[in-house]
Structure 1
Amino acid sequence: MKNNSLLFLMLLPAFSLFSQNYMISFSGSGETTVIDSVIVYNFQQNISLTLQGNDTLHLVENLGIGQPSRHKPINIYPNPTANSSRLELFCYRAEKAVLQVYNKSGILIYQEGLLVEQGDNTFTLEGLRQGNYLIRINSPSEEYSGQLIAAGSGSGPVKLTKNSTVSFKSLPTDDKNAGSIIQMLYHSGERILLKSFAGPYIHIKSIIPAGNELVNFEIIPCVDGDGNYYPVTTIGTQLWMAEYLKTTSFTDGSPLTLITDNTTWVDYSLPAYCWFNNDEITYKQSMGGIYNWYAASSSNICPVGWHVPTDEDWKILEGTVDTQFGVGHTEWNKGSWRGFDAGCNLRARGIWTQSLPGCETDYFGFSAIPTGGRSYISGTFGTGTNWNYIWASDDIDELNGIARHLHSSYHGVRRTNQAKAEGASARCVKYIDNRKN
């Protein structure tokens, strides 16, 4: 009885280890249907992969000993096994194949012909004696492999039984369109960030997979008056710029006023912008422009169909990314620092100085970085190392608007009044269902 209990405890990790096995494929719509490539981030595992647009992402909870991340795997469980194991493999097409079992000395001990079908194929393998085995299934177009530990008292004969096939209809059937299956380590409940590239367009999505999924990237233009293309990220019901606005002109082509002099900046009450430390070459691409409220609240500073977020737009974003206070919670109506971890989940990774441990998740691809600002009192610039000031389009009174602040020492997001002559960053937003756009 003691030995059986020990064996049961030994098998428990194997059951949970293979509990998730998801296939994620990609498509495009909108400006283009062709996705060139996708970068996949699993920040909890600290890994990333680059796929071609026609590749399929295979999320598994165990990559297997010595198995590379780019291959055709056999999912085997329980493993170790006392009696029989279930073999799962994913096939692009129906065709004849051969299953081979090798012992640890590399000797072929079992071989059987079989037919695999398009989709998820499952088989039961039983009768193996104690030992370590390499399982291979070869077909004219694919090769699959996996390792199996037999820990029971099997004495043969070895037997293979086909169980079922589940079709995955969204996969391409044309050989020219079928890409590779690329494997990534994944544990249930982890958030996966997908960054797609389609010509000049970049679209980011965050998902928590719960099964096989076809992820569609709706390619929506986000191009400012200067012709700059911006990456966009889907966050709940909203689409956000994934970078800071850096336009020097309105969408009608008229220029914004560039102010470098400190005194002029303080006294100016019309739309204006500058670059951090008046250094366009160093800071334009990373920090974007610094705008006064008069510029940020202009109706035509954002790309056509986009707008500078209102205070309510910000509240929706904060409630979407926070893990404790959801959209519509009264927490977001407060002033000053609010939320449980919304600030952490909006911040880019590895950029902020003196950051709280684990507080740069960037789970949604918003990628906020420190941008400093410009004083409405002296016209001088902030440090640009641990603060981010971002405008809302609302105002409080003749002299003050509303802004959001992020800081490396706070988990939340600060909602605050800010002088309209202050210099801060800007982003643009639109709604997926086109309301408020």
Structure 2
Amino acid sequence: MIRLLYVLMILFTLQSCSKSEDNSLQISTLSDIDGNQYNAVKIGSQIWMQQNLNVSHYRNGDPIPNVQDPVQWYNLTTGAWCYYENQTSNGTVYGKLYNWHAINDPRGFTPEGWHIPTKNEVDILRSFLDNGENAGYKMKSTTNDWLSPSTGSDNSSGFTGLPAGYRSNDGGFYSSKGSVAIFWGENPDSQTSQDKYNYTLLSNFTNLYNSSSIKEMGYSVRCVKNY
């Protein structure tokens, strides 16, 4: 009887450990003002969305304009979004691309309790994921969205970065879907600069890069949960 109880205790312990390992990424859910559903994952001390933002309204209900015309996009001084190549099917997978004016609008468009990450928060993420050397490898999705040449990925962080490409200010053309993921962020140290902060994943590199570009570019958005 004692031996049987001992065996049962071992089996219970192994099952508990296995369950803990299966749930190690601690997935949760959230929604935006449009009712779009997102998964979120705990990475270190932070909680990040696992999908790109796909909302089309500010938090007060005002619409964010969908601007397809390239000349109009170039001349904007207010917030706007678009789908890559203006194709709804791209939005289903990759979410929307936003200009920086949408990021900076005081009405806000992130889900309640979530915000655009700061450079410092991205640096914390990078440091937790191997100080940038292999952070990108751990953040990129393992699907075939990433085109060759590619360094591959294991998505061990759960971030699930997808190569949504971007929209240029120059002619409003679309580029690099399958090769690059660029996300808007905020950098309080450069608020007076024309160049605005973003962070980037590339198909053929394992790093997570800091960068900057002008307000009229169209990039993806990931949100991080308020502390």
Q: TM-score w.r.t. structure 2 length?
A: 0.87
Deviations 1:152-201 (A, max 9, x none): xxxxxxxxxxxxx56969x9xxxxxxxxx6998xxxxxxx664xxxxxxx
From 344, 347, 351, give the equivalent of 2:140: 347
In 2: Cα distance, 1:289 partner to 1:258 partner: 10
C-alpha deviation, 1:309, in angstroms? 0.5
* Structure-2 residue corresponding to 1:255: 63
1:394 to 1:182, Cα distance in 2 relative to 1, 3 A: closer
Aligned length: 221
Superposed counterparts of 1:37-436, under 5 Å: 116-117=4-5, 121=7, 194=23, 205-206=24-25, 217=26, 219=28, 222-280=30-88, 282-298=89-105, 300-322=108-130, 325=131, 339-349=132-142, 350-357=144-151, 359-394=152-187, 396=190, 397-431=192-226, 434=227
1:364 to 1:218, Cα distance in 2 relative to 1, 3 A: closer
1:237 to 1:225, Cα distance in 2 relative to 1, 3 A: same
C-alpha deviation, 1:218, in angstroms? 7.7
Question: What amino acid is the match of 2:31?
Answer: V
* Structure 2, unaligned runs of 5 or more: none
More helix by share: 2
Conserved? CA contact 1:193–1:365, under 8 Å: no
Higher relative contact order (CA 8 A, sep 6+): 2
Conserved? CA contact 1:297–1:308, under 8 Å: no
Of all paired residues, the percent bearing the same amino acid is 25
More strand by share: 1
SS of the aligned residue for 2:121 comes to helix
* Structure-2 residue corresponding to 1:108: none
Conserved? CA contact 2:27–2:41, under 8 Å: no
SS of the aligned residue for 1:414 comes to strand
Deviations 1:66-121 (A, max 9, x none): xxxxxxxxxxxxxxxxxxxxxxxxxxxxxx7xxxxxxxxxxxxxxxxx8622xx52
In 2: Cα distance, 1:271 partner to 1:369 partner: 23
* Structure 1, unaligned runs of 5 or more: 1-95, 97-113, 123-164, 172-180, 185-191, 195-204, 207-216, 326-338
Q: TM-score w.r.t. structure 1 length?
A: 0.47
Question: What amino acid is the match of 2:137?
Answer: C
Instruction: Give the structure with higher Rg (CA).
Output: 1
Runs (4 or more) in structure 1 with deviation over 6 Å come to none
Deviations 1:365-416 (A, max 9, x none): 1111111100011111113020111110236335221001111111111211
1:356 to 1:384, Cα distance in 2 relative to 1, 3 A: closer
